[in-house]
Chain A
Amino acid sequence: MFAKKQWLTASLILVCIGAAGAINILINGEHVMGNNNQVPWGILIAGYVFFAASSTGVGLISSLGHVFGIKRFELLGKRALLISIILLLCGFGVLALELANPLNMIYILLSPNIKSPIWWMGALYGLYLLLLFAEFYYSLKEDHKKVKPIANIALITKLAAVSNLGVVFGMLHSRPFWQGPYYSLYMILTAILSGAAILSIVFYFVGQKGRTVIYQGENIVRNLGKILAGALFITVIFTFWKILTSLYGGIPGKAGAAIALLAGPLGLKFWLMEIILGIFLPLFLLIKYSFQPVKVMFASILTMLGVLFMRLDFVLSGQIIPLEMIEGLQITGYNAYVPGWSEWALILGAIGATIFLYMLGEKKFNLDVVVDIHQHQENLASTKTTLVKVEA
């Protein structure tokens, strides 16, 4: 599709846009951002959730290979680890710029409050990053004896980290739409969704470069496409029941947020970006074309676009209804939130940085995994036979 040079240029342009946004935020502070006293968390928090959950999702899917021993997923190996690391670093970068005083983070260690879900988020994602580095290091050295136990601990850590990400919101009794365990499960599910989509995109292009993406005659992108379709289906079910239970009974704070998504200020983002472009169109592409790798790749790009808006809808829907603290107070209207250009620029920059760093990683490291040498030879033979057949 695109040449390497075009990818590189596009990613660097995005990085420059992101740098402009970052500089504006660093110089002018909160005031160039859209968040306000009524909507304290904006698009950068959504962006952080987008990157952190995607990193975890990529990790969860690659665990199918190196923890659960499903051979075909071992193909994902080092590439999945590298993507996970890059996504998490980009997520941390976005979060650091959202925080007003990131240098004070030293107090997370000096005076920790272990009752705080954000403290746990820092601890678990920090640990996850260390484990990812260790796993990647030993994978590069092909030291599988060390990789295995690290991968096992990493699996528990990533499950804890991503479900805790939902708890950060679920613990808030002040925000009825978020409160409860729902978002912990939703985070795990949608992490798998974005993980499958990102791996599909990467492995489609890796396959285009002539690297091994075939196991027992089947392209791994097809398998990832099936996981993606499954996750999309379950996301539809989750979203349907979340909206319906929120509407039911007209509970203040909950019903209003659901209406804001269905027919309020978030309606366009919800229906067009999250549901139609992000869920139904990818599902259609996947099923209609029976998981053809190129269609899986297109479906995945759409899914990721949808997931970005899904995160934004999620963060805003919890805060869009004005707090009701006086009985019978007539609440009119919604809390307003319009993100600043710097915030959008930063998100684009982080996407650019992800692509750029991944390409750098492909150049610097040997990321190919030979699952089974006999299998590999068989694959080569079958590819040759297919080529001969096609030519004939």
Chain B
Amino acid sequence: MARFAMLIDASRCTGCNACRIACQMQWQLPPERYYNRLEHNEKGTYPNTKWEITPIQCMHCDNPPCRDVCPTGATYKRTDGLVLIDSEKCIGCKYCMVACPYGVRQINYDGIPEKCRFCAEYIIEGKMPPCVSTCMNEVRIFGDLDDPESKISKVMAKKAVYQLLPEKGTRPRIFYVRK
């Protein structure tokens, strides 16, 4: 069984937002809704300052609080690790939104809190999510951690990585290359 994950090298990000727009095109989202975003952070003191950019999207956590709090089981985790929403079962209580420590869920027009789906239908055909394929600087690497030959496995074996908010116990499937 595959174990899908993503590695993000934020230091390569130019802040062009192409990933966000590609995702919006893929899922036909209006401009105000987005499943991935860039967080900007100013570091250092004048005149030695720099803009640090961190791409954020659903972490497809291995211990997802959004799934645990969902009263109807509408939010579930697939065996390959993807955290998805069954809109047929969703009552629209938005509990998953308040439970997610990464603030990645967005209310869609049916009142269902959607988010990055790791392009569930595309990746099983071997395609890459558009946020990965569209990026000019190869900021994101997507792949199967159970496959030692996958690019993500090879790069992660060489680089020091970290996850966001490890203290929340969510065990994210998105890893960041340590700067």
Q: Which residues of B contact A101 (CB under 8 A)?
A: 90-92, 110-112
Q: How far, in Å, is A285 (CB) from chain B's closest CB?
A: 37
Known: A104-B88, A174-B99, A323-B103. A116 touches B69 (CB 8 A): yes
Would A118 and B71 count as touching, CB distance under 8 A?
Answer: yes
Q: Which residues of B contact A323 (CB under 8 A)?
A: 101-103
Q: How far, in Å, is B164 (CB) from chain A's closest CB?
A: 5
Q: How many residue pairs at the A-B interface have CB separations less than 8 Å?
A: 126
Contact pick for B69, options A30, A110, A118, CB 8 Å: A118
Q: How far, in Å, is B38 (CB) from chain A's closest CB?
A: 11
Q: Which residues of A contact B71 (CB under 8 A)?
A: 108, 112-113, 116, 118-119, 122
Encoded as 1 (CB less than 8 Å from any B CB) or 0, chain A from 31 to 64 comes to 0000111101100000000000000000000000
Query: Taking the complex as formed, is B106 at the interface, i.e. its CB lies under 8 A from any CB of chain A?
Result: yes
Would A118 and B95 count as touching, CB distance under 8 A?
Answer: yes
User: Residue of B at shortest CB range from A121?
Assistant: B71
Query: Taking the complex as formed, is B25 at the interface, i.e. its CB lies under 8 A from any CB of chain A?
Result: no
Known: A101-B112, A172-B99. A326 touches B68 (CB 8 A): no
Encoded as 1 (CB less than 8 Å from any A CB) or 0, chain B from 109 to 123 comes to 111110000000000
CA distance in complex: A350, B101 (Å): 33
Known: A37-B106, A115-B68, A329-B41. A174 touches B73 (CB 8 A): no
Would A30 and B73 count as touching, CB distance under 8 A?
Answer: no
Known: A174-B101, A319-B98, A330-B42. A99 touches B107 (CB 8 A): no
Would A118 and B93 count as touching, CB distance under 8 A?
Answer: yes
Would A325 and B98 count as touching, CB distance under 8 A?
Answer: no
Would B41 and A35 count as touching, CB distance under 8 A?
Answer: no
Q: Which residues of A contact B74 (CB under 8 A)?
A: 104, 107
Query: Taking the complex as formed, is B177 at the interface, i.e. its CB lies under 8 A from any CB of chain A?
Result: no
Q: Which residues of B contact A36 (CB under 8 A)?
A: 107
User: In chain B between 108 and 156, which residues have their CB closer than 8 angstroms to a CB of chain A?
Assistant: 109-113
Contact pick for B164, options A30, A41, A117, A326, CB 8 Å: A326
Would A325 and B97 count as touching, CB distance under 8 A?
Answer: no
Query: Taking the complex as formed, is A180 at the interface, i.e. its CB lies under 8 A from any CB of chain B?
Result: no
CA distance in complex: A173, B64 (Å): 11
Query: Taking the complex as formed, is B160 at the interface, i.e. its CB lies under 8 A from any CB of chain A?
Result: no
Would B39 and A329 count as touching, CB distance under 8 A?
Answer: yes
Would B39 and A41 count as touching, CB distance under 8 A?
Answer: no
Would A100 and B91 count as touching, CB distance under 8 A?
Answer: yes
Known: A35-B94, A105-B91, A118-B93. A30 touches B107 (CB 8 A): yes
Encoded as 1 (CB less than 8 Å from any B CB) or 0, chain A from 258 to 276 comes to 0000000000000000000
Q: Which residues of A contact B110 (CB under 8 A)?
A: 100-101
Query: Taking the complex as formed, is A249 at the interface, i.e. its CB lies under 8 A from any CB of chain B?
Result: no
Would A29 and B68 count as touching, CB distance under 8 A?
Answer: no
Known: A100-B92, A100-B112, A330-B41. A171 touches B69 (CB 8 A): yes
Q: How far, in Å, is A121 (CB) from chain B's closest CB?
A: 8
Encoded as 1 (CB less than 8 Å from any B CB) or 0, chain A from 114 to 142 comes to 01111100100000000000000000000
Known: A330-B41, A330-B42. A99 touches B100 (CB 8 A): no
Would B70 and A113 count as touching, CB distance under 8 A?
Answer: yes
CA distance in complex: A153, B41 (Å): 55
Query: Taking the complex as formed, is A328 at the interface, i.e. its CB lies under 8 A from any CB of chain B?
Result: yes
Q: Which residues of A contact B98 (CB under 8 A)?
A: 40-41, 172, 174-175, 318-319
CA distance in complex: A122, B93 (Å): 12
Query: Taking the complex as formed, is A102 at the interface, i.e. its CB lies under 8 A from any CB of chain B?
Result: yes
Contact pick for A113, options B73, B99, B111, CB 8 Å: B73
User: In chain A between 81 and 110, which residues have their CB closer than 8 angstroms to a CB of chain B?
Assistant: 99-102, 104-105, 107-108, 110
Query: Taking the complex as formed, is B158 at the interface, i.e. its CB lies under 8 A from any CB of chain A?
Result: no
Q: How far, in Å, is A15 (CB) from chain B's closest CB?
A: 25
Most buried by B among A37, A41, A322, A323: A37
CA distance in complex: A329, B54 (Å): 10
Q: How far, in Å, is A284 (CB) from chain B's closest CB?
A: 37
Known: A35-B94, A101-B112. A328 touches B41 (CB 8 A): yes
Query: Taking the complex as formed, is A366 at the interface, i.e. its CB lies under 8 A from any CB of chain B?
Result: no
Q: Which residues of A contact B159 (CB under 8 A)?
A: none
CA distance in complex: A26, B89 (Å): 19
Known: A99-B91, A100-B112, A173-B169. A325 touches B73 (CB 8 A): no
User: In chain A between 310 and 336, which residues have their CB closer than 8 angstroms to a CB of chain B?
Assistant: 318-319, 322-323, 325-326, 328-330
Q: Which residues of A contact B168 (CB under 8 A)?
A: 173-174
Chain A to chain B contacts (Cβ below 8 Å), 11 pairs: A35-B107, A100-B110, A101-B111, A101-B112, A105-B91, A108-B91, A173-B169, A174-B100, A326-B164, A329-B39, A329-B41
Further pairs besides A100-B112, A174-B101, A323-B103: 10, Cβ < 8 Å: A29-B111, A36-B107, A40-B94, A100-B90, A110-B72, A111-B72, A172-B98, A172-B99, A174-B168, A330-B42
- Sort A-B residue pairs by CB-CB distance and give the 6 closest, nearest first: A100-B111, A100-B92, A107-B72, A174-B101, A40-B97, A40-B94
